[in-house]
Amino acid sequence: MRRTVRDVVFVDGVRTPFGKAGAKSQYAETRADDLVVALIRELMRRNPQLPPEAIDEVAIAATTQTGDQGLTIGRTAAILAGLPRSVPGYSIDRMCAGGMTAATNVMAAIAVGGADVAIAGGVEHMTKHPMGEGFDPNPRIISEKLVDPAALNMGVTAENLHDRFPHLTKERADAYGVASQEKYAKALADGKIQQDLVPIQIWSSEKGWGLAVADEPPRPGTTMEGIANLKTPFRPRGRVTAANASPLTDGATACIVAAADVAEQLGLPAKMRLVSFAFAGVEPEVMGVGPVPATEKALARAGLSIDDIGLFELNEAFSVQVLALLDHYGIADDDPRVNPWGGAIAVGHPLASSGVRLFTQLARHFETHPEVRYGLTSMCVGLGQGGTVIWENPHHADYGKENDK
């Protein structure tokens, strides 16, 4: 029997407020799995027309799969959230693109009829589980020179990217970082950021019970003058600083995706339609360039060009990584289509969580930009990879029509 590939839609997405990783993080004494549980419960509360037993999969990503981020967290979080025991789940790791990969995996399954509705997301508690915790690289990687040791440090790979593209200067990277802070601050003041934040119950042995309701990492009022002389921790007299890199972050994201026809039958919203996705590998030493070939592959698979993309949500692991993609396509550093509400430099980057944050924000942008038909979400990935997902806006006049290219 021949299978018909089905359209897949993004139904809804939520995230926790993000915490600034460290001993003073608002989540310092809160479990990682409890963050995911709260998001699954909120998705079900926001979409009461979705029968819990109709969920076919729960895929949750974590880069450091140990402790309260281990034990097949997709399954354990589903049980803890009160979903029926019949709902299966699993965990996944593609470092920074974990949540993105969790979503593309379940969407691919939905497209070929392996599932109808799924929950996907990611969590990273970098306070409890710093990046690289328990990491034991095979010595062959270094001894046989398969990968330069520097590739195991993401900050060093960003410095390498500056080396490869010297016109992507520290001044441009700093200016991009300042702009990210400014855009986030404006979006927060306009009530945009809060729409999909889920208040999280937290515990502190010093303060007792509390509620996390806001992101901790943003640094409002950041100026070029104020950041000019920040330390360059990855290289003496380098170019990567705390002002043009994402901070270490605690947080989680989750979303519902479904077959378009099933979403319609259940009365679920279709906030975006999946068009295409792609992952690509690059030299691990310059992992930040990964979004370029991933985007080229995703555009080719969709039969689109970069000129067809009206909105971009790009993960700001480092300014230079975003600038490399923009420069490749001749897009200005301050193009208003790019990260309209700022990005990870301001809000933070809890590794495996970030891909679904990009999806959720793009869906919000689509609501107020019916003139935009296609949007793109992309991110670099540790050890030399990139991931890109292209979406169609259901509010556009030509939504669902065959592309005439």
Q: What are the residue numbers of the active site? A: 96, 349, 380
Report the distance separating Cα 135 and Cα 300, nearest Å.
36
Q: Which residues contact 397 (CB under 8 A, 6 or more apart)?
A: 370
115 by DSSP, 3-state: which?
coil
Buried b (16+ CB within 10 A) or exposed e, 211-223: ebeebbbbbeebe
CA-wise closest residue to 213 among 34, 15, 362: 15
> 10 Å Cβ neighbour count for 167?
8
> Exposed, middle or buried by CB within 10 Å (0-12, 13-18, 19+), for 48?
exposed
> Taking the C-alpha atoms of 295, 16, 382 and 185 in order, what is their torsion angle to the nearest 10 degrees?
70
Which tokens is 171 given? 């001044």
Q: At what angle do helices 319-328 and 291-302 cross, to 10 degrees?
A: 40
Sign for the pseudo-dihedral over CA of 389, 393, 398, 400 = positive
Q: Is 311 left (phi over 0), alpha (psi -120 to 50) or beta?
A: beta
Q: CA dist 42 to 35, 59, 174, 178, Å?
A: 11, 16, 37, 33
403 by DSSP, 3-state: which?
coil
Q: CA dist 386 to 326, 346, 349, Å?
A: 14, 21, 16
Which residue is associated with the tokens 């793009």? 362
Which tokens is 48 given? 């009461």
Buried b (16+ CB within 10 A) or exposed e, 85-99: eebbbbbbbbbbbbb
Q: Residues 205, 206, 210, CA angle at the centre, nearest 5°?
A: 80
Q: With contact defined as beta carbons under 8 Å apart, do 181 and 342 qualify?
A: yes
